[in-house]
Amino acid sequence: MSIMSYNGGAVMAMRGKNCVAIASDRRFGIQAQMVTTDFEKLFPMGERLFIGLAGLATDVQTVSQRLKFRLNLYELKEGRQIKPKTFMSMVSNLLYERRFGPYYIEPVIAGLDPKTFEPFICSLDLIGCPMVTEDFVVSGTCSEQMYGMCESLWEPDLEPEDLFETISQAMLNALDRDALSGMGVVVHVIEKDKITKRSLKARMD
């Protein structure tokens, strides 16, 4: 039994033209059994910054809460919103503190710079190794399926509406090939002046 696939789950983020999108499934299960279909895996960490956490469900909740705590202190001390790249380093630091007894999660981050609105996406492994990409990042029990979907569907400079369609199809079809992920999809599209949150109608099996 693998700890990373005990609860199942999937998150991904994509970069578009002056926008980013982040998506997750909604399943919380215990091995093969589904328990609920409304489990949050995407968490706002700033006006235009989201983190998505896939992996062991208890750590998804603990890490998001502890991260928010550190972020709140940062914002109080600095008097401003955190930049996505700096936030990535904060996450990396939090995870590496537990190098020899890690949190069993692999996060993805998506957001826009608070001043320049430059789009940014990255992912990290469970001990905090950061990886910044120009196209997409995926994490979860169906990461291979998600890589396949993203590699074929993604293209650069997608407008927000097209980016939404692309990330939605990539998620839906990857999740259908994983027994431990699914039960609905949540997609957030982050632009300079608005964030659009949508729930997709998905297979509930």
Residues that bind other proteins (CB under 8 A): 5, 8, 29, 31-34, 36-38, 141-142, 145, 176-180, 183, 203-205
CB nearer to other proteins: pick between 128 and 140: 140
CA–CA distance, 185 with 144 (Å, rounded to integer): 18
Tokens of 97: 């503190």
Positive or negative: CA dihedral 55, 30, 57, 186 = positive
CB nearer to other proteins: pick between 31 and 72: 31
Closest distance of CB 124 from other proteins, Å: 22
Residue length of the chain: 205
The separation between CA 40 and the C-alpha centre of its own chain, rounded to angstroms, equals 11
CB nearer to other proteins: pick between 1 and 76: 1
Alpha-carbon separation of residue 196 from 18, 117, 149, 191 (angstroms): 14, 16, 22, 8
Closest distance of CB 105 from other proteins, Å: 17
In this structure, what are the phi and psi dihedrals at residue 147, rounded to the nearest 5 degrees?
-60, -45
The residue behind tokens 């996450």 is 91
Closest distance of CB 46 from other proteins, Å: 28
Tokens of 24: 């997750």
Closest distance of CB 155 from other proteins, Å: 27
CB nearer to other proteins: pick between 7 and 166: 7
CB nearer to other proteins: pick between 114 and 148: 148
DSSP H or E run through 155: none
CB nearer to other proteins: pick between 33 and 116: 33
CA–CA distance, 33 with 65 (Å, rounded to integer): 26
Closest distance of CB 183 from other proteins, Å: 7
Closest distance of CB 30 from other proteins, Å: 10
CA–CA distance, 2 with 153 (Å, rounded to integer): 30
